[in-house]
A and B are shown apart, each in its own frame.
Chain A
Amino acid sequence: MWFLAWREIRHGRVRFGLTALLVGLVAFLVFMLTGLAVGLGDAGVSGLRRLPADVVVYAAGSEKTLSRSSLPAADGARIAAVPGVSSVQPIGQTMAQAKGPGASLPVALMGVEPSAPFAAPGLGRGGIVLDRTLEGKARPGDVLTVQPGGVRLTVAGFADLGSLQHTAVAQVPLDEWRRVQPSAVGAYLVTTSGDARGISAAVPGTDAVTKSEAVEAVPGYSAETGTLNLIRGFLLAVTALLTGTVFWIFTMQKEPSLAVLRATGARARLLVGSYLVQVALTTVLGVAVGLAFVAGIGAAMPAGTFSLPGGSAALSAVLLGALALGSSAASLRRLLTVDPLLSLGRNA
């Protein structure tokens, strides 16, 4: 099958090359949107994703939003008493502005116990640790004034804290956070072998959800990723339509050759195999072109907006390949029903 497939591609290299380029352009858009969905999504929720928890306990009525949630300190002990719960960590979160000598930085201020396992190294009384993306805008030892509250904190260092709602996370001790946001606790991070509903039921006034539900509930996250994924879905459909149509036309154009091959005894396996090799090669080349484009343009995108991990890229590539092969299968019937009599001329 390679014999026929490759020689036809070689002879029609402009035709197949243009098809691969078209697939490549659509693949590029698919990869770009995948990268944007991952990158922007990550910028919206990575600060929450990185916190170790099975369940996040919010105040009832807070719409599962950290910055709106406020719980009494006593709830910590109540949650810890729920069967299955092995660890409870209080946190608080407020959107704030940190003014320093060099710049005014918007931050997602996160109050944590300095003894918590996820507290940034060096976090202590009067200190603030900034996400690494803010390196260069502040230096260790800088004194930042956090608004609201006018609380003065010293930069203790930088860590991979992520971001929330596209704003870099800054960790402060919970006591310092309370000076900014007068509240006992914002929410609790819980490690448990039980389920979230059990905690809500056991501790009145709380709304406990799994961490993935908490991530989905971050304001704007679902709408943002949903929109990008919808566009990505449309692009995948365009890929299917494009490859299906192009190879349908190719098949129609080569009916006389197919008739000759059938008349000389070519079996279905050879014809289908050659055809699918062509579709696969064109798609692989197109996907490679798309990846090459996206590698170049993705590198030039602003930090925090684009991220294309290997797994996401591979999944998109497999989807593109599967759709190309699936849609081109529409031509198989035509391929297999070409009348060999055409090889003798229609007036036989």
Chain B
Amino acid sequence: MSTPLELRGVRHSYGDVEVLHGVDLVLKPGEVTALLGPSGSGKTTLLAVAGGLLRPTSGHVSVFGEDIAGLRLDRVARRVAFILQAGSLIPYLTVEENLLARRVVAGYKITRADRARAADLLGAVDLAAKSHRHPDELSGGERQRACVAQALYTGAPVLLADEPTASLDRVRGRAVMRLLADHARNTSASVLIATHDERALDLVDRTRSIEDGRLLTP
């Protein structure tokens, strides 16, 4: 089986400023990897490059052995899903519709089974009662959990999460991390979590640290 996500010698610059300096990273199936680092260390840029939102200045990113440089973003998105931050829910859709929108974006029509799966996932993040609310009717923590459910709903084999516990208290944060860990184990998905929250690191399989755009040796 080919590697779900692999970064080899990835560099990225904003103008003349290089923010990733030759990053090598491999995600394994069923494994949760935490990417630790302070603000400005390059975590989000690394996620953006890994998910095809940014092209590396040099180096290669491959998903299941295929270099994503040659793939359109919609093709990458079928295999790599982002867990976005709380403010990124679409405001005119309800929580349930935010999940269903991922199916619509992927080109599918909504079926009863899709709605049932959305209901299951919203139940798993404790949002079943608020599935028909709009994002502006939710607390920050609820919105963050909805974002997690949204990414899980895609069924993508690679999940990239940018500070998924940032707006959650310790209990909720651990619940989200456990959900991601269970998802990885149950579906063999690979999960990469950029965070500087170290409260739930016992739930991840491995950690990598990044500083000034360089991954530190484990």
Known: A3-B104, A341-B48. A264 touches B81 (CB 8 A): yes
User: Is there a chain B Cβ closer than 8 Å to A261's Cβ?
Assistant: yes
In the bound complex, how far is the Cα of B14 from the Cα of A348, in angstroms?
10
Q: Which of B84-92, B118-126, B167-175 contacts A (4 or more CB under 8 A)?
A: B84-92
Interface flags for B96-140 (1: CB within 8 Å of A; 0: not) read 010011101111001000000000000000000000001000000
Q: Which residues of A contact B101 (CB under 8 A)?
A: 3-4, 261, 264
User: Is there a chain B Cβ closer than 8 Å to A270's Cβ?
Assistant: yes
Q: Which residues of A contact B104 (CB under 8 A)?
A: 3-4, 270
Give min CB distance, A8 to chain B, whole Å: 4
User: Is there a chain A Cβ closer than 8 Å to B205's Cβ?
Assistant: no
In the bound complex, how far is the Cα of B106 from the Cα of A8, in angstroms?
19
In the bound complex, how far is the Cα of B72 from the Cα of A340, in angstroms?
13
Give min CB distance, B99 to chain A, whole Å: 11
Q: Which residues of A contact B45 (CB under 8 A)?
A: 348
The answer, among A12, A257, A264, A347, for a CB contact under 8 Å with B82, is A264
Q: Chain A interface mostly helix, strand, loop or mixed?
A: helix
The residue in chain A whose Cβ has the minimal distance to the Cβ of B89 is A260
Interface flags for A310-348 (1: CB within 8 Å of B; 0: not) read 000000000000000000000000000000110111011
User: Is there a chain B Cβ closer than 8 Å to A266's Cβ?
Assistant: yes
**Interface size for chain B: under 10, 10 to 19, 20 to 34, or 35 or more residues?**
35 or more
In the bound complex, how far is the Cα of B51 from the Cα of A12, in angstroms?
32
CB of A8 within 8 A of CB of B102, answer no
In the bound complex, how far is the Cα of B84 from the Cα of A3, in angstroms?
21
CB of B92 within 8 A of CB of A348, answer no
CB of B77 within 8 A of CB of A344, answer no
The residue in chain B whose Cβ has the minimal distance to the Cβ of A339 is B53
User: Is there a chain A Cβ closer than 8 Å to B215's Cβ?
Assistant: no
The residue in chain A whose Cβ has the minimal distance to the Cβ of B106 is A265
In the bound complex, how far is the Cα of B105 from the Cα of A40, in angstroms?
53
Give min CB distance, A282 to chain B, whole Å: 15
In the bound complex, how far is the Cα of B130 from the Cα of A4, in angstroms?
20
Q: Which residues of A contact B54 (CB under 8 A)?
A: 341, 348
Known: A3-B101, A3-B104, A7-B92. A347 touches B44 (CB 8 A): yes
CB of A344 within 8 A of CB of B73, answer no
CB of A344 within 8 A of CB of B74, answer no
The residue in chain A whose Cβ has the minimal distance to the Cβ of B94 is A7
Q: Which residues of B contact A260 (CB under 8 A)?
A: 84, 88-90
The residue in chain A whose Cβ has the minimal distance to the Cβ of B150 is A264
User: Is there a chain A Cβ closer than 8 Å to B162's Cβ?
Assistant: yes
CB of A344 within 8 A of CB of B90, answer no
The residue in chain A whose Cβ has the minimal distance to the Cβ of B81 is A264
Interface flags for A1-44 (1: CB within 8 Å of B; 0: not) read 00110011011100000000000000000000000000000000
User: Is there a chain B Cβ closer than 8 Å to A256's Cβ?
Assistant: yes
Which positions in A face B, CB cutoff 8 Å?
3-4, 7-8, 10-12, 256-257, 260-267, 270, 340-341, 343-345, 347-348
Pairs A–B under 8 Å by Cβ, sample size 17: A3-B100, A4-B93, A8-B92, A11-B91, A257-B91, A260-B84, A263-B82, A264-B105, A265-B106, A266-B105, A267-B107, A340-B73, A343-B84, A344-B53, A344-B162, A345-B44, A348-B47
- Rank and list the top 4 A-B pairs by shortest CB-CB distance, nearest first: A265-B77, A11-B92, A265-B74, A348-B44
Q: Given A7-B92, A343-B82, list of 19 further CB < 8 A pairs?
A: A3-B97, A3-B104, A4-B93, A4-B101, A7-B97, A10-B92, A12-B92, A260-B90, A261-B101, A261-B105, A263-B53, A263-B77, A265-B74, A270-B104, A340-B53, A340-B73, A343-B84, A344-B162, A348-B47
